[in-house]
């Protein structure tokens, strides 16, 4: 693995942990803030946090085509995805939401193969299937057999809509990520999502009145870390690896969600969740290891010098 690939892997790992924590944060905010208010508040914090860094870095010219793709990704991934996921987590728990949304890499791999010319290599398909099987095991482990966890059909449908919008956003960002700096790309997409969610701003202002400090802190955290930092490290990694392979790494999110929920809420993960997490990791390893299972060609015989 080259140094560029290692840096992309580290950046993707940071994103995975931060995005996993977002599921817990959104769930914690469900009783205080409405879905639209969470989205506009999160995006406003992220845009404000990234603006000084962008000014320090300097603005790079962006082509019209790249700008259109970035704005479209902001509308689908930052605005639509945030609002839909926030609503979904009012109907399903955080772990189940992460399982359902993380069917997204299947759509990412499909979109990347169809529209980005990345193809659908057998290794990618096998890795996606293995990781998806692991995500299913994680979901089964968190569903509970005592009937305490309820999953509504509305929540399931909303999570799948979120998965498709996330996959579309990843695909749209791949081409601009090759030329637009990660910080600038993230800010542009974030600002586009913020503009789209501004109609929810009055609702957010009203709900902030009397909101507990802990809940406000969660909202600020969602904007600073999973959004501002998490999406920037994602854009950095996307520039240095394929969309299909990077998308498959997000299958690690469900087991990380369980770990964070255990640390913050005192919930011990069941043994089956550990098994599912291991299967997820195996699928990611398959996708991210190009030479896995590939035989090296035999060395060519050395040429023998002869007199002519």
DSSP labels, 270-306: PHHHHHHHHHHHHHHHHHH-TTTTPPPPPPPPPPPP-
CB atoms within 10 A of CB 125: 16
- Annotated domain spans of the chain: 3-288
Tens digit of pLDDT for each residue in 128-143? 788 778 777 776 765 5
Residue 269 DSSP symbol: P
Tens digit of pLDDT for each residue in 190-208? 999 999 999 999 999 999 9
- 85 and 38 Cβ atoms separated by less than 8 Å: no
Rounded Cα distance, 116 and 22, in Å: 29
Report the pLDDT averaged over residues 63-68: 96
- 89 and 27 Cβ atoms separated by less than 8 Å: yes
Report the pLDDT averaged over residues 157-184: 89
What's the predicted TM-score (pTM) here?
0.79
Looking at every residue in the chain, the average pLDDT score rounds to: 82
Which ranges in the chain belong to alpha helices (H)? 3-29, 35-57, 64-73, 81-88, 94-101, 104-115, 122-143, 153-177, 182-197, 201-208, 213-222, 230-239, 243-248, 253-265, 271-288
């Amino acid at each position: 693995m080259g140094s560029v690939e290692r840096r992309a892997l580290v950046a993707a790992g940071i994103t995975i942990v931060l995005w996993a924590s977002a599921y817990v944060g959104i769930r914690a905010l469900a009783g205080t803030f409405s879905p639209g208010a969470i989205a506009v508040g999160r995006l406003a914090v992220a845009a404000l946090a990234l603006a000084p860094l962008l000014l320090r870095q300097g603005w790079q010219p962006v082509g019209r085509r790249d700008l259109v793709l970035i704005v479209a990704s902001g509308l689908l991934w930052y605005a639509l995805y945030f609002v839909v996921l926030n609503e979904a987590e009012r109907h399903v728990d955080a772990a189940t939401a992460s399982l359902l949304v993380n069917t997204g890499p299947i759509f990412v791999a499909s979109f990347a193969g169809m529209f980005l010319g990345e193809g659908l290599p057998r290794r990618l398909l096998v890795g996606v299937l293995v990781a998806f099987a692991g995500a299913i095991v994680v979901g089964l482990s968190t569903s509970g057999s005592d009937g305490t966890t309820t999953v509504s059909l509305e929540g399931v449908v909303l999570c799948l809509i979120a998965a498709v919008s996330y996959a579309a956003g990843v695909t749209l960002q791949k081409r601009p990520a090759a030329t637009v700096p990660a910080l600038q790309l993230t800010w542009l997409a974030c600002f586009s999502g913020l503009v789209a969610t501004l109609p929810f701003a009055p609702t957010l202002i009203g709900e902030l009145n009397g909101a507990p400090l802990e809940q406000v802190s969660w909202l600020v955290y969602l904007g600073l870390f999973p959004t501002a930092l998490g999406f920037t490290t994602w854009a950095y990694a996307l520039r240095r690896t394929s969309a299909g392979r990077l998308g498959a790494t997000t299958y690690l999110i469900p087991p990380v969600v369980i770990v964070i929920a255990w640390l913050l809420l005192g919930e011990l993960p069941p043994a089956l969740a550990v098994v599912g997490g291991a299967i997820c990791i195996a699928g990611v390893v398959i996708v991210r290891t190009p030479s896995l299972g590939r035989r090296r060609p035999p060395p060519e015989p050395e040429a023998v010098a002869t007199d002519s």
